[in-house]
Amino acid sequence: MIAIHDLVKQYGKFTAVDGISLDVKPGEIHGFLGPNGAGKTTTLRMIAGLLKPTSGRVVVNGHDIATEPELAKASLGFIPDRPFIYEKLTAGEFLRFHAGLYGLDGDGVTERVQEMLDLFELRRWENELVESFSHGMKQRLVMCAAFLHRPQAVAVDEPMVGLDPRGARLIKDVFRRMSEHGVAILMSTHTLEVAQEMCQRISIILKGRIIAQGTVDEVRGLAGAGDDHLTSVFLRLTGGSALQELDEVV
């Protein structure tokens, strides 16, 4: 599970994340929604241990990221929005190195690597340099790496960007299957249809604060939006009514 308590991140006088708390339970897919610059990526980077919070706590699978970083990271799979991959390594080499980072050793590693490459349809690219991969292929490779060590919690930033419909379908299926196996998934996304389709609960963040949290229906209720589509609810909550002025500008 992923639990964050009163998390704050300040850059000088600017507060990017302003005391947010959320709890992603085992087996739950939690959507993390918000407009650009709302603080989603900053929050996810703090969960992954890449940014030091100004205050607050992040707990992954019972381990505090500040006091037990290795244990917390060992049980987390993190998929960043701008992943780093060694361009001059082959897909196989990258995954084997990644497995080593998470302490996977022995004969099982090769088998597991191939299993993941098969799952994400990259097997025939195993011995090709990453630099020759398309954006979507790199995205799938990063997912292979993130799920290689069978994490109990996953934090993922914009997983659908750059994926073709087949790739997107695959990722959705993988997430659903992982959730069925008890993995807690915190997913930031702009694709509201994906959130509506996949997430049991969602949190909407605006200017560093969570302004709505609950199931999709509960959030609809909060926004007083009746049976509206999630996009309308999102725009209503995040001040997207300015879109109505588009006609005057265009």
Partner 1 sequence: MKGAFSYLLLPHIWSSRNRARRRERGDLMRGLLFGGVGLFVLAALFGGAFWLTWQLDDYDELGDYLLRLGLSWLFMTFLAFLTFSGIVTALSTFFLSEDLRLLLAAPVASRRLFYARFVRTVVQSSWMVVVFLAPVLMGVGLARCAPIGFYLTSVLTIVPFAVIPVAVGTACTLLLVNVFPARRARDLLMLMGLLFAGSIVILLRMIRPEQLMRVESLPDVTGFFATLQSPVTPLLPSFWAGEMLFASLKGGWDLLHTGALWTTALAFCVGLRAADERWHFAGYSRSQEAPKARFTKLRGLDIIARLLPLSPVRRQLLVKDLKIFLRDVSQWSQLLLLLALVLIYLYNFRVLDLGRIPYMSGFIKNVYAFVNLGMAGFVMATVAVRFVFPAVSAEGAAFWLIRTSPVSMHDFLWSKFWTGLVPVLVLTEGLTMGANELLGVDPVLKVVAACAIVFLSFALVGLATGLGARYPRFTVDPSQVAGSYGGVMFMILAVLLIIVTIVLLGWPSTTYLMLKLRHIPLGPTRLVIMGASFVVAAVISIATWLIGMRSGVRALEAMRN
Binding residue for partner 1, selected from 55, 67, 70, 166, defined by CB under 8 A: 70
State the DSSP code for 42. Answer: H
15 forms part of the interface with partner 1 (CB under 8 A): no
CA distance linking residue 26 with residue 73, whole number of Å: 16
Crossing angle (nearest 10°) for helices 135-147 and 108-119 = 140
Site string for partner 1, 114-153 (x = CB under 8 A): ---------------x------------------------
Span from 6-14, 112-120, 162-170, 175-183 in contact with partner 1 (CB under 8 A): 6-14
Binding residue for partner 1, selected from 90, 196, 231, 232, defined by CB under 8 A: 90
Instruction: Tell me whether residue 62 or residue 100 sits nearer to partner 1 (CB atom).
Output: 100
246 forms part of the interface with partner 1 (CB under 8 A): no
Instruction: Tell me whether residue 86 or residue 177 sits nearer to partner 1 (CB atom).
Output: 86
Nearest to 30 by CA among 43, 19, 16, 49: 43
Shortest reach from residue 19's CB to partner 1, in Å: 18
Residues near 39 by beta carbon (within 8 Å), at least 6 away in sequence: 9, 16, 17, 18, 20, 205, 207, 208
Question: In 3-state terms, what secondary structure has residue 200?
Answer: coil
Alpha-carbon distances, residue 20 vs 8, 24, 212 (angstroms): 7, 13, 11
* Tokens describing residue 215: 């199931």
Residues between 222 and 241 that touch partner 1 (CB under 8 A):
none
Residues near 170 by beta carbon (within 8 Å), at least 6 away in sequence: 120, 121, 140
Span from 31-39, 94-102, 182-190, 216-224 in contact with partner 1 (CB under 8 A): 94-102
* Site residues (vs partner 1, CB under 8 A): 11-12, 14, 45, 48-52, 69-74, 76, 78, 80, 83-90, 93-94, 97-98, 100-103, 105, 129
